[in-house]
Structure 1
Amino acid sequence: MVAPAPAQRVRQVVEPAVAGLGLLLEDVEVARAGARSVVRVVVDVVEDDEGELDLDRVAEVTRAVSDALDAQDVVAGEYTLEVSSPGVSRPLTERRHFARAVGRSVTVRLVDGGTLAGRLTAVERGTTDADDAVVVVPVTPGVKGRRPKTGAPVRLRLTDVRDARVEVDLSGLGPVDDDDVAGPGADAAGREG
């Protein structure tokens, strides 16, 4: 049985291929799955990239990573290559993670043990990395069908943030009020006037 290639060696081989496409290599994992190895590569866009990591870009980076692995013959025997993005469940830990999540609902865990839930509205670049900050507008859920309460924006230095998670926002889902679907010219009961 062939031992899996060390993840660090695979990282050294695939990182230039990923960077050559303007992407970042987030993680590499090499594991056994029966008689073959499974190479899992997680890539992400750089902070100032306005594009998304869509299927076309994933396919392109998959070809580049596969070519690099085959050229260096770093994985002995047969292997399965899995290339993916970090996904929404990834913790936000770096400035670039927060920059990609602006406008989303987040729960921030602070170094001091506190938490803050709200809408991430900005990421500020400081004069030094220690001065980088995020701005979160706190949102307290409404009780029994009432609207949520929005607080004053809170500026948090990234050095005070342990991590954050993007929260799935389902507020737009659910039953629709008749008032919401009434077209122009309809009265309060939704009848055309």
Structure 2
Amino acid sequence: MGTDIERPHHEGLEARIADAIAPTIEHMGYELVRVQVSGKERPVVQIMADRSDDAPFRVEDCEAISHAVGAVLDVEDPIKGEWTLEVSSAGIDRPLTRVKDWNRYAGHVATVELLVPQEGRKRFKGIVLGADAETARLRLEDGTEAGFPRSNIRKAKLVLTDELIAATAAPPTGSRSADGVQRESDGQTH
């Protein structure tokens, strides 16, 4: 594992934490979705992960990651003083941090918040069209298409809709995926 997994972009303390924990998480069969640190007095380190095999993410997965990541962070010690660790799945209305997230959820509604305004705006909402290494694309509410440099995206997130909920439910055997390719179901949520 490891080298072929696209990791989300982080900066500063979050990047140091991501670099420290990603190899451990990947070795365990998970993918890092996001690291976020919040709070000053007693910082909260939030780790968001997915299973590499696309199986449902369970409480046991959170516990396993929490124990492993806690041990790594105790050794690396990136945060001086007391801190709290929270581990969670990406959830249905997940952040879009990797190219694979943008492409997997093409056709669903998302919001994008930019670091630097584009066309006089920092916030956009529209249908995900996909992404490549450099640019993420949306069809905006006015029907136009917009591309955003991924390096300028502060945060991007799916919007919880009935269509998204239906798409994330277990597909029936022989169902068609979003890309129109027919796949047999193994009984797992994809």
TM-score by length of 2: 0.48
TM-score by length of 1: 0.48
